[in-house]
Amino acid sequence: MVEPLTDTPADEVVARLILTPDPAFVKSLGTHHTLESAMADLVDNSIDAHATTVTIRFVTRGGHLAGIIVVDDGDGMDADLADRAMRLGGQRDYAPGDLGHFGVGLKAAALGVANVLTVWSRRYGASAVGRRLSRVDMQRDYSCDVLSTQAAERSIEHALDGRAHGTVIALTELKHGVHGASPAEAAAWLTNAQQRVRHHLGLVYHRLLAANRVVVQTIQVDEHGNQGVATPVRPVDPFAYPLTGRPGFPKQLQAKASGVEVTVTCHIWPAKYENNTEFRLQQKSAEETQGFYVYRADRLLQVGGWNNVANASSLRKLARVSIDADGLDGLVQLNPEKSGTQFSTALAHALAQATSGVGNDAVSFEDYLNAAEDVLVQSKKRTHKRKPVVQPDRGFAEGVRRAIGEELDFHADEDPVEVRWKRLPTGTFFEIDRPLRTLWLNLLYRDLFSPGQKGLNDAPLVKALMFLLAQDHFAGTQYSSAKRDEAAVWQAVLGAAAEEEKARRNRGGGTR
């Protein structure tokens, strides 16, 4: 017979162990963060501290990214708060509108992109404090360096421009700080990285930014302190369509899960605005951005996905549903990176049965999905059928191939075409090789479009443009004289343009 489980009496407890985190756990901390999600987690802390302005400084050394500094004008921390902030899993009492949740966000976000985290902070009326965590120390004994008050005061004064309170988060010894074999490659990578961060933050905080509750900006600074112009993060609203795709929408539907009333707002995008920035989010496909957009305290936690309520379908790409998770504890579980959620079985079942009311005019969740599908089907009937193209193969970046496939159909009876580089005569920009199904680009001009390190899928812009221009020349069994003459015209113009561009680069960008 097995005894039922009972509470152990207090007098039977003979000792208490303080268990430090296992090094294996510390080693994995932050591994699921991207640069974008890590910056969002740090901004969460600033917003929870009532910051009105958050500045993300990308610090370069020799043209390469060497560090990231996040500065806010929030409440700041004293010594006790700083100690708690550096403790792994050290949770505080979260207010209803706070974005923090697990007590690991600062550490996971920082160590997801860097090996050293330094915090400088000053609370109004208190002395400045400094704390430093390194991945090496954490894996050994989870120790934290306490930095001198003098050092903290110097750093705070410099970073906060004399403000009485605020916090500075410095990430150094970056894991991914060097990109590209040349300064030009590194500069291109950094520009793209900052754009990705701004787009992600604009999406995640679009409600807060649009309401002017916080200003977030990025700025690039070199090792000598020279800085560029601050670039503000603009809101990217995933529901910012100019007119609804179907009259009567957006529409609110209600459901009850485990005794809790839940409201969702069902939107249908108009089909002709599919190329808007607000529709094409984070370079995701339309299948990935359909579904639920989950918010907590007006912070976006999930960008698309049906959470077992419905199935993704190419016909449902115009369907987006917003849901606020405030008050839905136990029904909605978010992941530590705050980049996705899980719905409980009870919530998923309830939402599948959600309705706008009772009676003949009520709209069910199924009715909504059918309406979104119908909008897309009807738009395709009204739209002129696009001509199919040959399929792009090797040499095209994955994102380019995906975009072409999403927008156009491929010839069923034509072999794919690849794009490659080879040396051609001066003034010859390209060559159409129908037997080898290859669009050759002149190696003499490669540096114009892909400076620094080269790769199979380099120069995506010029390759995409040349594909759109010349793909029709690979279709059909006969290569007509009209097509040959057309290619000759392109060759003359593009060859002259390439030579002119090359000459200008050699002159340092001057003009005659």
Q: 74: pLDDT confidence band, cut at 50, 70 and 90?
A: very high
CB atoms closer than 10 angstroms to residue 197: 24
- Going from N- to C-terminal start, the domains of the chain cover 24-232, 251-382, 398-506
In this predicted structure, what is the pLDDT of residue 492? 95
Q: Does residue 87 surpass a pLDDT of 90?
A: no
**Longest distance between any two alpha carbons in the chain, whole Å:** 98
In this predicted structure, what is the pLDDT of residue 512? 40
Q: Give 149-161 pLDDT, tens digit per residue.
A: 999 998 888 888 8
Q: Give 245-283 pLDDT, tens digit per residue.
A: 999 999 999 999 999 999 999 999 998 887 777 888 877
Q: Does residue 5 surpass a pLDDT of 60?
A: no
Distance CA 345, CA 350 (A): 8
CB atoms closer than 10 angstroms to residue 308: 15
Report which secondary-structure segment, H or E, holds 69: strand 64-72
In this predicted structure, what is the pLDDT of residue 2? 46
Peptide bond into 183 cis (omega under 30): no
Q: Does residue 367 surpass a pLDDT of 90?
A: yes
Residue whose pair of structure tokens reads 């410095």 in the numeric block: 170
**Range scoring the smallest mean pLDDT among 86-95, 187-196, 334-343, 374-383:** 86-95
In this predicted structure, what is the pLDDT of residue 11? 65
In this predicted structure, what is the pLDDT of residue 138? 79
Q: 343: pLDDT confidence band, cut at 50, 70 and 90?
A: very high
In this predicted structure, what is the pLDDT of residue 194? 94
Q: Does residue 1 surpass a pLDDT of 60?
A: no
Q: Does residue 187 surpass a pLDDT of 90?
A: no
Residue whose pair of structure tokens reads 């609370």 in the numeric block: 123
Distance CA 404, CA 425 (A): 30
Distance CA 17, CA 406 (A): 57
Question: CB of 209 within 8 A of CB of 235?
Answer: yes
Q: How many CA atoms lie within 13 A of 285 on its CB side?
A: 17
Distance CA 129, CA 80 (A): 10
Which fold is adopted by the domain 24-232?
Heat Shock Protein 90 (3.30.565)
- When mean pLDDT is compared over 44-58, 158-172, 382-396, the highest value belongs to 44-58
- Given the DSSP bridges, would you call strands 114-122 and 64-72 parallel, antiparallel or unpaired? unpaired
pTM of the model: 0.71
Q: Does residue 111 surpass a pLDDT of 70?
A: yes
**Range scoring the smallest mean pLDDT among 40-49, 103-112, 367-376, 417-426:** 103-112
Distance CA 90, CA 86 (A): 8
- Given the DSSP bridges, would you call strands 299-303 and 291-296 parallel, antiparallel or unpaired? antiparallel
Q: 453: pLDDT confidence band, cut at 50, 70 and 90?
A: confident
Q: Give 285-307 pLDDT, tens digit per residue.
A: 888 999 999 999 999 999 999 99
- When mean pLDDT is compared over 10-24, 124-138, 374-388, 435-449, the highest value belongs to 435-449
Residue whose pair of structure tokens reads 């001057």 in the numeric block: 510
